[in-house]
Amino acid sequence: MRLHGPFRWEASCPPRALAGVRRSPPKSRPPLPRRGSAISSARGERADARSDVYGLGATLYELLCGRPPFREKSIYETLRAVQEQDPPAPRGIDPRVPPDLQTIVLKCLEKDRDRRYATAGDLADDLDAWLDGRPIAAHPPSIRNRAARFVSRRKAVVLPAAVLAIRALAAAGWGVHTSSRRSARVRGLLEEASGREAGGDWQGARDAFGAAAQLAPGNLPASDGLKRAEAAIAAAQASLEKNAAEAKRREGAWRRRRSPG
């Protein structure tokens, strides 16, 4: 999609520098780390959430400007530009690009990976803030920006479809990441619960199974384990009460025998 006006979009198919190659094109690939870095490699920086943020930023840049962040004559020149140059500011290409949206895009494309959004979820939050007319986290709002937002909130606007699409992609990526972390946490809790169950620590097993069941309500091992632990605790409690009652009965009988007739 390409932006031809502040709120008017149309489909287009920008050329790709590496057509037919499965890897991402150089113009959308994060820069290499400095030589000697612990994550330096011939393939680029370590793939993680910040690499995904860079790719989302490159996509949003192209949607806003109608061109990729780096567009050189050859693949090698493009790779070098990605490594050594900053992309042109979107407002320098089209002054109609909103300043805060430019700030969001350029933060995604930072050479220093630590200065990008840490996760796609953080990017989605800032896009939500921009769409809602709230201050973004990428930089503190100036008096001028606050005044502009005050006025814009009172005008009917059409939200750019591309920003909503990128926000949805970022949210989806963050959702997958969060789901993966939750699954790993559930597995860890089930392993802990099984170990405590095997050792006879039913109280600890109940707590671990219960935590896993809260994170994954439909998880059968968690719910079944919780039932076993609660049943074992109830049985132990009943046994203690029975033994206490029996001890009290025997003590009473002993006292009666000791009492003078």
Same domain membership, residue 215 and residue 98: no
Task: List the domain range (segments joined by +) for residue 203.
Answer: 181-258
Residues of the chain with pLDDT under 70: 1-47, 140-167, 169-180, 260-261
Answer whether 136's CB lies under 8 Å from 106's CB.
no
Which pLDDT does position 143 carry in this prediction? 54
What was the pLDDT predicted at 178?
A: 58
Are 9 and 162 contacting, i.e. CB atoms less than 8 angstroms apart? yes
Same domain (yes/no): 153, 25: yes
In this predicted structure, what is the pLDDT of residue 1? 34
Q: What pTM did the predictor assign?
A: 0.44
Please report the pLDDT score of residue 105 as a whole number. 92
Q: Is 91 exposed, middle or buried (0-12, 13-18, 19+ CB in 10 A)?
A: middle
Strand partners, 187: none
The domain that holds 126 is classified in CATH as 1.10.510.10
For the four alpha carbons of 64, 162, 160 and 130, in that order, the dihedral sign comes to: negative
Instruction: Report the C-alpha gap between 50 and 115 in whole angstroms.
Output: 9
> Are residues 152 and 197 part of one domain?
no
Residue with tokens 């896993």: 212
Lookup: tokens for 190: 């089930």
pLDDT reported for residue 175:
60
Assess whether 192 and 155 both reside in one domain. Answer: no
